[in-house]
Amino acid sequence: MDKVTTHQAQDDARNEEILIWVNGALKRKAEALVSVYDSGFMLGDGIWEGLRLYDGRWSFIDEHLDRLFEAALAIDLDIGLTRAELLDAIEETRAANGMVTDAHCRLMVTRGIKTRPFQHPGLSVQGPTVVILMEHSQPSIPRPIRLATVPHQRGLPMTQDPKLNSHSKLNCILACIAAEKAGADEALMLDVHGFVNTTNACNFFIVRKGAVWTSTGDYCMNGITRHKVIDLCRANDIPVYERNYSLVDTYGADEAFLTGTFGAQTPVGEIDGRRIGTGEMGPVTKRLRALYKELVTS
């Protein structure tokens, strides 16, 4: 079976020559390294954001930085840079790479280098590690995504709050592995009550009788693209509901799609071996994709 992922991009030879910002210095790929004692490498102790460049502008960058600084506060991590300094560093990296559009940025902050290889955050005394990695990135997803429901959940906030964009992604990686073993591209994850929640990498929506449904948002990453789609529905008289719904509702949907910074709106053609609607991108998804494109390029 052909393999597809929600973050599949065209090969671009320019990405072999990119410069990566590491703690204030621009470095080539082979030299852009972090210590084996780094908290992110050793423990997944860090946070990140994904940014998308359209026509010289980073879409919704204010919201992304709001979320980054909020996450840093939540995990008691001092980023070591002001918001203005971080914006300057992003612009420096973009300019150094000559990027104008169709670029993706992975902005990562960890608790930094540890003095000893153990868990306690007090062992991270050298300050944070900040990395800004940008690639030329044109999405290339050749067909609608196939999902498989997995037993792994996005759980309660007292374990690991799913609203955190954390470096600790093992739960989602295991979900993705389970889905691939089942012959799908990615995983559909339920919440702690058994309602449809999210996928391992994106937010999830269905369309039934012209109305757009998504989860309550209680147990998933409250994605910025997710919010923009909900806002677009409300502004354009498309009924939209944040609600609990089951796999029965999902299998009977007319359309399904995913949202995320990279792929914007990605159609889903099959879930657990059941074709969704026609199996192709449906009219509501097409309309929302056009409205979103207008939003990011206006």
DSSP letter string, 84-99: HHHHHHHHHHHHHTT-
Give phi and psi for 289, each to the nearest 5. Answer: -65, -40
Domain range for 78? 13-136
Q: What does the alpha-carbon distance between residue 193 and residue 7 come to, in Å, rounded to a whole number?
A: 29
Band (101; pLDDT cuts 50, 70, 90): very high
Say if residue 211 is in the same domain as residue 289. yes
Q: What does the alpha-carbon distance between residue 66 and residue 52 come to, in Å, rounded to a whole number?
A: 16
Q: What is the mean pLDDT of residues 161-181?
A: 95
The verdict on residue 164 lying in a domain is: yes
> Residue 14, CB half-sphere, CA atoms under 13 Å: how many?
12
Band (2; pLDDT cuts 50, 70, 90): confident
What are the angstrom distances between the C-alpha of 43 and each of 21, 22, 67, 110, 258? 22, 19, 21, 10, 29
Say if residue 122 is in the same domain as residue 158. no
Are the C-beta atoms of residues 50 and 287 closer than 8 Å to each other? no
The pLDDT tens digits of the residues spanning 261-283 come to: 999 999 999 999 999 999 999 99
Say if residue 202 is in the same domain as residue 272. yes
| % the chain with pLDDT above 70 | 100
pTM score: 0.95
The pLDDT tens digits of the residues spanning 117-142 come to: 999 999 999 999 999 999 999 999 99
The pLDDT tens digits of the residues spanning 198-208 come to: 999 999 999 99
Q: With 90 as the cut, is the pLDDT of residue 295 above it?
A: yes
Q: What is the pLDDT of residue 252?
A: 98
Say if residue 46 is in the same domain as residue 128. yes
Q: What does the alpha-carbon distance between residue 153 and residue 171 come to, in Å, rounded to a whole number?
A: 8
The verdict on residue 245 lying in a domain is: yes
Are the C-beta atoms of residues 103 and 136 closer than 8 Å to each other? yes
Say if residue 289 is in the same domain as residue 177. yes
Domain count for the chain: 2
Owner of token pair 């997803």: 141
Say if residue 124 is in the same domain as residue 158. no
Lowest-confidence range among 156-165, 172-181, 270-279, 284-293? Answer: 156-165
Q: With 90 as the cut, is the pLDDT of residue 246 above it?
A: yes
Say if residue 93 is in the same domain as residue 151. no
Say if residue 226 is in the same domain as residue 184. yes
The verdict on residue 80 lying in a domain is: yes
Q: What is the pLDDT of residue 122?
A: 95
Band (229; pLDDT cuts 50, 70, 90): very high
Are the C-beta atoms of residues 61 and 87 closer than 8 Å to each other? yes
Q: With 80 as the cut, is the pLDDT of residue 173 above it?
A: yes
Say if residue 94 is in the same domain as residue 117. yes
Domain boundary among 105, 136, 167: 136
Paired tokens of 145: 């995504």
Say if residue 110 is in the same domain as residue 182. no
Domain boundary among 136, 166, 189: 136
Say if residue 122 is in the same domain as residue 199. no
Q: What is the pLDDT of residue 3?
A: 86
Band (159; pLDDT cuts 50, 70, 90): confident
What are the angstrom distances between the C-alpha of 112 and each of 79, 86, 116, 266? 10, 17, 12, 35
Domain boundary among 136, 156, 175: 136
Q: With 90 as the cut, is the pLDDT of residue 298 above it?
A: no
Q: What is the pLDDT of residue 1?
A: 56
CATH classification of the domain holding 27: 3.30.470.10
For the chain, what is the radius of gyration of the CA atoms?
Answer: 19
Nearest C-alpha neighbor of 108 from the set 12, 30, 39: 39
Q: With 90 as the cut, is the pLDDT of residue 251 above it?
A: yes
Q: What is the mean pLDDT of residues 2-16?
A: 92
Q: What does the alpha-carbon distance between residue 193 and residue 86 come to, in Å, rounded to a whole number?
A: 39
